[in-house]
Chain A
Amino acid sequence: MTVNGSPVRRRIPARQHLVDFLREELGLTGSHIGCEHGVCGACTVRVDGDIVRGCLMLAVQANGCKVDTIEGLSDSGELEALQKAFHERNALQCGFCTPGMLMAAQDLVLQKARCSREEIKRHISGNYCRCTGYQAIVDAIEQVLNGQG
């Protein structure tokens, strides 16, 4: 598969999840493991352009796919506007959910030019954050989408 633009070849156990593969085999520890049953969204990564739960997809299912993680999108600068808005608005506290939250937010940014706060909330409603109460996150995403803040 291609991970963050670089080709990767590994022989792995069939049962290994994509997020475990990224973390354990490739050392890409930015994608976090929060629940391992597809609820919290901390392991959100992008596979062939779609965001997926890294804990619900087996690594072998991503065979031949293009996988993007927080590390890759940070280095390419794709997340720069969101990261800046999150930082300014303190849309993170412990930061454990943040990579997954940014992946989900960027998915919305790529899909839509403008969004209501309700649409933003719906889009990130599969990403759990225990620290912020979400308001700052919605503000930050809104700032990037609609140029408000």
Chain B
Amino acid sequence: MAKAELPLHAPGTQLDKGYIGQSVPRANAQRLLQGRGSFIDDLRFPRLAHVAFFRSPYAHARIKRLDFSKASKAEGVIGVFDGRSVAEYCTPWVAVLAHLKGIKSPPQHAIAIERACWQGEAVAAAVADSRSQAEDAVARIEAEWEELPVVVDMDEALAGKRVIHPELGDNICFKRELDTGGVDEAFATADVVVEDVFHFGRHTGVCLEGRALLADYNAAEHSLTVYHATQAPHMMQDIFSRHLNIPEANVRVITKDVGGSYGIKVHVYADEMATAALSVMLRRPVKFVADRLESFVSDIHAREHKAKVRLACTSSGEILAFELDDLTAIGPYSVYPRTSGIEGNQVVNLTGGPYRHQKYRAKMHVVFTNKNVTCQYRAVGHPIAVALTEGIVDLAAQKLGMDVAEFRRKNLIPDDAYPYTFPSGIKFEKLSHHKSLNKLLQLMDYQKLREEQLRLRKNNIYRGIGLAAMIEVTNPSPAFYGVGGARISAQDGATLRLEPTGMLTVMCSVTEQGQGTEAVFAQVAASAVGVTLDKVRVITGDTAVTPYGGGTWASRGAGIGGEAVLLAGRALRSNVLDVASQILKADKATLDILNNEIINRLTLETRMPLAELGRVAYFRPDTLPIDFQSELTVTRHYTPRQYGFTFTNGIQASWLEVDPDTGFVRLLKHWCVEDAGTLINPMLVDEQIRGGVVQGIGAALFEECLYGPDGQLLNGNMADYLVPMAGEMCDIVCAHLETPTRQSQLGAKGVGEAGTAGAPAAVMNAINDALAPLGARVTAMPFTPQRILKALGKV
């Protein structure tokens, strides 16, 4: 291959891929390590006002009277507002999408009017000179309520004796059915049929930085600048513009450092819309930072599914069919603008996904309840689908007396079967299930571990091995949201500018929340242009600066944003060589760029530093031919379109010990083999996987938003809602396969959600493997000591 056709550019170096594939530390981590980041709560503005919200203490109640007379007179108070006053400035929204047929939800206001539908829904706002004064004012708001009947149980919601929104007719937000045909026949002729019901606790993201924004309205310009801890600045720009009636061009959303997001910060929150409206109303900057207690009752929750799954297979272990019946509860509103129908929809799409059966029937209901809203949180639907699939697959193997790894090998879609269409309709470009399984078994030394397990059982030590094969949605095309009418971009863009000193500025619409977006863009840009990494600066998170794009969600940053950076980098390299060709009076084809210098591409001899080229192009263009104009700023965009999603695959394993006397689970080791296509920065990929795995372990062992029968959240604080801490976590071994996607030149797929997708299933299967000799089985997450002891018949 000629040098000019190399996939990435760094001629003469060992690596044709330049910095691609190198574990380079993140440049932007330095400020965070010194406490010199800029999170929203760190910003200081003149005339900054602070808002605190008065939230409903009831899960469902009519607001009979709100009395602000005492609150308004409290020290430092600027104003106290109810839903009606804010609604004059901010229009309500309805979170439905056209491609989720039949989905329905009532209008939601920035501040509830007349009625609160969950405990924690904001019904009034107090604005004051400081947050503590605003909280003092909230404490002085007097409210009179009429309690309404609550619907907290999913089955009760589905039955619909009490309807939360009478105008909608029932409590069903969305339902979906899918049937390939032939399912009944498959089950009738099967040698073995297994079925089970799995429960998934409601949990939440617990970002260490609460949701936060600082809205700064300029009345003279009728412009709004919002400093926002969000994953999707352009989406929020559109939303602020439309609901506050400010021209899009007058709305600027700036996202600086974000203290964790994981999907929590990609949604429209009523209290955040109210904060922006209050800035317009008061004509001054207003800041809202959710404190921990209000985060628990107002950040989106996720999961809360109950699903029955059945599997039919032959006596030789060939899976014939899957059947699914999933029920999920989402609170009283579908969340704007992505809707709360997506998680259930994903469960239908993905259940059974790694396997090659052709018969599949699914039924799924999404129902309203009087609890906090749920929506997309890291790995959306995947943890449910993977646990249902892998839980029932293990049960089938157990019933057949087959080894669980062997049973999977028999049924995983063959590595040479692609492109492949799964019975739910999703399409796989190229996956590597068998290679992944083999690599995992080798990595964990599966046989030796099985022997160790058997040996220890003789000493009454109960250890288990759990496997979880998975497929994951990444790099979504417009088929995810755009086709349904959501103004959410599946496209991203990058602008690259060669500075006069030869430095490279990269501006990209994908945002950074710590996953390393900016670092991998710098690696791609440096490699594509031919500069060293220290010359690259990356800017993200400003709608007034970067190209338009979707931001960060659904494991799309590296695959989509990275491709835009690559395309822009190649175009810029070409433009730089045009300038070099003019200055040097040399044929462009003989020139190249390496290590910040123009070189002769054959001899690798230095012709001119980029800094000199920049000087001439910017300050002495008079020395260039009159008909030549240099273009050292380039913008390119990329949208994946060939497939709805760029699926990745992987497989995880958990090795743990269950204490049958206490019900405690001790994690010993965890493995993950993942195929995310081209690896740009292996260290960052591993860390995404590890962090994701631990969030999945949280779901499996600790995390659940517990509600009482009256719809009250019982454990809404960090002391009672348990999250994984260092003491309980084991080491996680990561390994990779690289099957690049051919949809892009970079070949990168996403990896942000893989860990979270598979870990709960792996842990569940390991616990059940450990409990098997004791005749116990658990299927309700989280697997608390209490649930395990109950399964053992000890409590």
A interface residues with partner B (beta carbon < 8 Å): 15, 20, 23-24, 27-37, 39-40, 42, 69-71, 74, 79, 83, 86-88, 90, 92-99, 102, 120-122, 124-138
Contact = CB atoms under 8 A, between A and B. Distances in A.
Contacts of B592: none
Most buried by A among B25, B29, B39, B755: B29
Given A92-B514, A98-B33, A99-B35, A37 B687 contact: no
B514 A131 contact: yes
Contact of A96 (B26, B209, B692, B727): B209
Contacts of A128: 208, 718, 723, 725
Given A74-B34, A94-B257, A130-B208, A135 B729 contact: yes
A87 B33 contact: yes
17 contacts: A23-B41, A29-B35, A29-B42, A69-B35, A70-B35, A74-B33, A90-B684, A93-B691, A98-B35, A126-B725, A128-B208, A128-B725, A130-B260, A131-B260, A134-B726, A134-B729, A135-B731
Nearest to B725: A125
Contact of B34 (A34, A70, A129): A70
A120 B725 CA distance: 12
A129 B504 CA distance: 33
B131 to A, nearest CB: 9
Interface in B502-519: 513-516
Contacts of A34: 208-209, 292, 718
A27 B36 CA distance: 11
Contacts of B206: 130
Interface string B8-45: 00000000000000000110011111111101011010
B218 to A, nearest CB: 25
Interface of B: 25-26, 29-37, 39, 41-42, 44, 130, 132, 205-209, 257-262, 291-292, 513-516, 683-684, 687, 690-695, 717-719, 723-727, 729, 731-732, 755
Contacts of B259: 32, 94-96
B678 to A, nearest CB: 19
A27 B41 CA distance: 11
Given A29-B41, A35-B718, A127-B726, A98 B691 contact: no
A53 to B, nearest CB: 12
B727 A121 contact: yes
B539 to A, nearest CB: 18
Contact of B727 (A20, A33, A125): A125
Contacts of A138: 726
Contacts, number: 171
- A interface, over-half SS: loop
B33 A86 contact: yes
Nearest to A134: B726
A83 to B, nearest CB: 5
Contacts of B727: 121-122, 125
A94 B726 contact: no
Given A35-B718, A90-B683, A90-B687, A40 B33 contact: no
B522 to A, nearest CB: 14
A37 B208 contact: no
Given A95-B29, A96-B260, A131 B41 contact: no
A131 B36 contact: no
A102 B691 CA distance: 19
Contacts of A31: 35
A93 B25 CA distance: 11
Nearest to A13: B132
A92 B31 CA distance: 11
Given A94-B258, A129-B726, 14 more contacts: A32-B209, A39-B719, A40-B208, A87-B26, A90-B687, A93-B514, A94-B208, A96-B260, A127-B725, A130-B262, A130-B723, A133-B729, A134-B726, A138-B726
Contact of B25 (A32, A42, A87): A87
A127 to B, nearest CB: 7
Most buried by B among A90, A95, A122: A95
A131 B205 CA distance: 11
B35 A71 contact: yes
Contacts of B695: 130, 133
B37 A36 contact: no
Nearest to B35: A30
B208 A125 contact: no
